[in-house]
Amino acid sequence: MVTVVFQAFGGLGMFLYGMKIMSEGLQKFAGNRLRHILNMVSDNRFVGCGVGTLVTSIIQSSSATSVMLVGFVDAGLINLTQAVGVIIGANIGTTMTAQLIAFKITAYALPMIAIGVFIKFFTGHTKWIYLGDVLLGFGLVFFGLSTMSDGLAPLKNEPFFISFLTGFHANTIIGITLCVLTGAALTMILQSSSATVGITMAMAFQGMINFETSVALIMGENIGTTITAQLASIGSNINARRTANAHTLFNTIGVVIIIIFFPFFIEIVQYLTAALMNFGPADQIVNGERPNISRYIANSHTLFNIVNAMIFLFALPYLVKMTIWLTPFSEKNEGFDEFRKIKFIDSKYVETPAVALGQARAEIIRMGEAVETMYDDVIRAIKSRKIKDLSKWRRREDMLDNLQREITKFLVKIMQLPITSEESTEISALTRMANNFERAGDEVEHIARLIERLIEQNLFFSEEGMNDYETISTEVRNFLTLVNIGIRNEDRDVMERAQELEILIDHMKEEMKDRHMMRLKSGVCKVDPGLVMVDLFSTFEKLGDLCFNVAQAVAGRKV
């Protein structure tokens, strides 16, 4: 019995570890492309479903996709409706694991492990190392599954185990419900629906449970897998929690529907697999094993999620409304504060760089918006000439300092993990953006203090001086808008317009200083306001330089 336990749990351990390194290897091998694919999700629910299917098929983990989605929604990169569409597709994509397991490729497990280890440890190139992880993980998944199946084999002759399993027969509503609850609980414990599917297939292959029971367990596993997104949403914003709840609702309601039509669903799976795919009966026994049942189980898993997706793609607005109703917004619970230190970044996503970098970018976008608002408040104050209008910048400047510090700490944590070269480059770019926005806030603060000096000392610019002030301040504002849009859209072609504005603002500064000197000589301008004006022109020019630095980071230059 000890040998059986060690072999079964050892196989399960290899399976789980294989899934982990295979999923992580696939994510790293794909690089930032997965994040960009998810970021390009449109409001078309069918496109979102297709994207979710594609991404999850690539990374072999619906849990990883759901965690990324919760993080993206938390960061404001996609909205709730878009996320729910992707989640529907992710449920289809995750069935690819079961389909792969159903293929009898166990004989290739050890060669894949050998090739994976060789590539990982002896090639040296980063991309090849990630490919090695994929092959190594893939081999461990199938070798672990084979080991677990062999370990479970002796149990089918144990009287105690046989009597225990007799309680798990999906021949009544109570039996089906018990199997569903068992599958859900096991998946919540293991945090991997793929692992639970593997266990179910191994038990069915050894003849411990029949096909109907296997399908009921699979239904429960679809509910249990939603726990990962629920855990990821803890402490996140309202839409992130709604995304996790929509995932749970979608799978739970789908399971309830299938339970109601369970016998009919079983007949459809059997017909599709036997008649159309030319497989023998699901419960056919050959040498004490059931060689066909894995294919039937995999097909039931896929068919369930396809049927569920078809229902909810058309009923998506109602699913979203139900989710919003079940997760009402409370400003008190959200702890809403426009000036709180951080809004999007969350340390629990550090080990998922695709999400973490998206969150950092969202905070930097927030920094850029704060600089724009701060700048507008300060620039307008020269006309209102009210000190209280200048007081607004202080809280935003504190916010910029705090955000820069928190973003930098967050990015350093990501940088300390194994990351791709693309992710390392993006971290450098994001750090540069944050630093330059913080410095931009300092320059806006300097403008505010200069205007405050004008107001307190009752100093005025000449009409020509005010025209110059408005002209150069408008171009700087255009530059801020340009780089902020560039960050949001990740526009690497931003440099052409940025260079034009940089040259324009530099020329403006020199020309305006020359005109100002001419006005001083002619007596049109007075000395005291003139000194403030020269300082303002220099500060506007510095702001232009900082915007240019941000544009370079957005374009991937000089990082």
Rounded to a whole number, what is the distance in angstroms from the first to the last CA of the chain?
A: 60
Residue 443 has what pLDDT? 92
Of 60-69, 250-259, 287-296, 459-468, the one with minimum mean pLDDT is: 60-69
What gap in Å lies between CA 418 and CA 431, rounded to an integer? 18
Q: What share of the chain is helix, strand, coil (3-state, %, to 5)?
A: 80, 0, 20
**Distance between CA atoms of 200 and 147, rounded to whole angstroms?**
14
557 backbone dihedrals φ, ψ, rounded to 5°? -110, 150
Mean pLDDT of all residues belonging to the chain: 81
Distance CA 74, CA 355 (A): 10
Tens of pLDDT, residues 59-111 = 766 666 777 777 777 666 677 888 888 888 888 888 887 787 777 667 778 88
| pLDDT tops 70 at residue 340 | no
Question: What is the pTM (predicted TM-score) of this model?
Answer: 0.64
Which of the given ranges, 30-34, 54-58, 73-77, 370-374, has the highest pLDDT on average? 370-374
- Given this model, what pLDDT does residue 336 score? 40
Closest CA to 548 of 539, 535, 557, 538: 557
Q: Rounded distance, CA 541 to CA 507, Å?
A: 9
pLDDT digits (tens, 9 = 90+) for 193-239: 777 788 888 888 877 788 888 899 889 988 888 887 787 777 666 77
3-state secondary structure string across 450-514 = HHHHHHHCCCCCCHHHHHHHHHHHHHHHHHHHHHHHHHHHCCCCCHHHHHHHHHHHHHHHHHHHH
Rounded-to-integer distance, Cα 192 and Cα 186, Å: 9
3-state secondary structure string, 331-343? Answer: HHHHCCCCCCCCC
Share of the chain above pLDDT 70, in %: 85
Model confidence pLDDT, tens digit, residues 520-551: 777 767 777 778 888 888 999 999 999 999 99
SS3 state at 289 = strand
Burial of 386 (0-12, 13-18, 19+ CB in 10 A): exposed
The domains of the chain, with CATH numbers, are 2-324 (no CATH), 347-555 (1.20.58.220)
Q: Specify whether the CB–CB gap between 454 and 349 falls below 8 A.
A: no
CB 450 within 8 A of CB 532: yes
521/371: higher pLDDT: 371
Residue 321: other Cβ atoms inside 10 A = 11
Residue 363: φ, ψ to 5°:
-65, -35
